[in-house]
């Protein structure tokens, strides 16, 4: 394989440098349906640079072994690599090393939190764990813009414990109703779980303001950082959240790994979710005692090579510069929205052009189903996401069943966006609905 270049600079990203960055991503060199690939689906899954693939391959070639279990040389080397990766990724989000739990993905992290709180609500638990218990009269608060992964686990834990699930509505432009947020956060709110960036509208929520409201009400804050950790500087300590989750495959890393951040004192007090090997201190035939976090939440064989690769991805992003990435994607997002707004028969979801958003845009084409839009664009070599994007309540609030989403990343150029816009401009004429 060809080694990746290092792109550590202080100047703003531009098309010339992004073209150089693209050279680190071999998949982007291919043609799809006879056309150069324009990949605008990084909001679902990002692509991997050479350095990430090489890191995982090198681990398998040199150190593959079980971690935290053996005393032989390979086992020690594997454990060192595994824990070094934890240190790297924890630093990337502003956390301490012992505050990062490896999970399968962000969905698994959210389920871990919800079901651990559910476990604290039944049976005999420690005095420290009782702070997480939910019961009738307690409330869990989410928002109307949540991905299903940050809604259904809370639905389930409320169903099991008798707690009430409430949500903050959104305005017509997809932004959060902050007046409703202030009213809904009250002394009954035990947990407030919300997304940093909407995967449908690109809305960037005011995390610090929302967290301050939640903590003033005595609630714990859970942040879904799936669409923020890959795209903008994330400092969980500065944001003052209690928990945060993210997925590796959205931030240049491999599939099958994600991270859960939690304040150390909270993680150590929470009941475990999955149990078994590697998360215990003493086991008898009658009972078990558990390790402190993060190991208490890492039962069984861990995603070792994936952790090593994710650390390489975090290094790549850090070297490129998260502020630079965010600024570049913000400009691409504005290019997307303003271009779509200029096309007749297109309705863009979320804030209008000129209002800050992430580097993505979801839209409706009058008279053409989103799945047909996706197939038409795919024929032109353009990869986008179609459907409800695992956010059915938000689509329902906006009066849709499905939409088409184009999402950018650090390897997308202005030419990618322009090729996409040119293709969209021909959509309604192709399907014979132009002028309707």
Beta bridge partners of 258: 103, 247
DSSP 8-state code for residue 256: S
Q: Quick one: tokens of 12?
A: 């703003």
**Cα gap 201→357, rounded to integer Å:** 8
Pair type for strands 220-224 and 382-383 = unpaired
Selected catalytic residue, list 76, 390, 400, 433? 390
123-156: b (≥16 Cβ within 10 Å) or e: eebeeebeebbbeeebbbbbbbbbbebbbbbbee
Which residue, 371, 370, 362, 367, is CA-closest to 336? 362
Separation of first and last alpha carbons in the chain: 52
344 in the Ramachandran plot: left (φ > 0), alpha (ψ -120 to 50) or beta? beta
Tokens 């070639």 correspond to 61
Spell 193-210 as b/e; 16+ CB within 10 A means b.
Answer: bbbbbbbbbbbbbebeeb
Q: Residue 252, by phi and psi: left (phi above 0), alpha (psi -120 to 50) or beta?
A: left
Distance CA 381, CA 374 (A): 10
Residue 27 CA to residue 133 CA, distance in Å, equals 47
Report d(CA 121, CA 114) in Å as an integer. 11
Length of the chain measured in residues: 436
158 as an active site residue: the answer is no
Catalytic positions:
390
């Amino acid at each position: 394989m060809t080694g990746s270049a290092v792109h550590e600079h202080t100047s703003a990203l531009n098309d010339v440098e992004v073209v150089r960055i693209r050279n680190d991503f071999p998949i982007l060199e291919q043609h799809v349906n006879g056309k150069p690939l324009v990949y605008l689906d990084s909001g679902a899954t990002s692509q991997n640079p050479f350095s990430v693939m090489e890191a995982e391959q090198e681990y398998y070639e040199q150190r593959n072994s079980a971690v935290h279990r053996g005393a032989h040389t390979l086992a020690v080397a594997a454990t060192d690599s595994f824990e070094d990766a934890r240190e790297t990724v924890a630093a990337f989000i502003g956390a301490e090393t012992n505050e990062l739990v490896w999970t399968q993905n962000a969905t698994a992290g959210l389920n871990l939190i919800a079901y651990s709180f559910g476990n604290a609500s039944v049976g005999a638990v420690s005095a420290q764990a009782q702070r997480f218990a939910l019961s009738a009269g307690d409330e869990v608060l989410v928002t109307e813009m949540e991905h299903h992964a940050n809604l259904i686990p809370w639905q389930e834990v409320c169903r099991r414990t008798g707690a009430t699930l409430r949500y903050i509505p959104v305005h017509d432009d997809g932004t959060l109703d902050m007046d409703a947020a202030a009213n809904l956060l009250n002394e009954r709110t035990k947990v407030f779980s919300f997304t940093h960036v909407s995967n449908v509208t690109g809305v960037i929520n005011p995390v610090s303001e929302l967290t301050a409201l939640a903590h003033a009400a005595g609630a714990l804050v859970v942040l879904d950082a799936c669409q923020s950790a890959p795209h903008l500087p994330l400092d969980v300590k500065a944001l003052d959240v209690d928990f945060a989750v993210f997925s590796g495959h959205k931030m240049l890393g491999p599939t099958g790994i994600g991270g859960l951040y939690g304040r150390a004192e909270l993680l150590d007090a929470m009941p475990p979710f999955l149990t078994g090997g590697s998360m215990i201190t003493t086991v008898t035939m009658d009972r078990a005692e558990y390790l402190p976090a993060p190991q208490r939440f890492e039962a069984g064989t861990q995603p070792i090579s994936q952790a090593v690769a994710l650390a390489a991805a975090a290094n790549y992003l850090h070297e490129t510069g998260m502020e630079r990435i965010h600024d570049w994607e913000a400009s691409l997002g504005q290019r997307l929205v303003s271009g779509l707004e200029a096309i007749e028969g297109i309705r863009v979801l979320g804030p209008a052009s000129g209002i800050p958003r992430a580097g993505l845009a979801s839209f409706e084409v009058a008279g053409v189903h989103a799945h047909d839009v996706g197939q038409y664009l795919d024929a032109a070599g353009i990869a986008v996401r179609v459907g409800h994007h695992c956010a059915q309540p938000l689509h329902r609030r906006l009066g849709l069943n499905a939409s088409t989403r184009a999402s950018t990343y650090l390897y997308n150029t202005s030419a990618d966006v322009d090729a996409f816009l040119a293709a969209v401009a021909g959509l309604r004429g192709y399907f014979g609905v132009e002028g309707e």
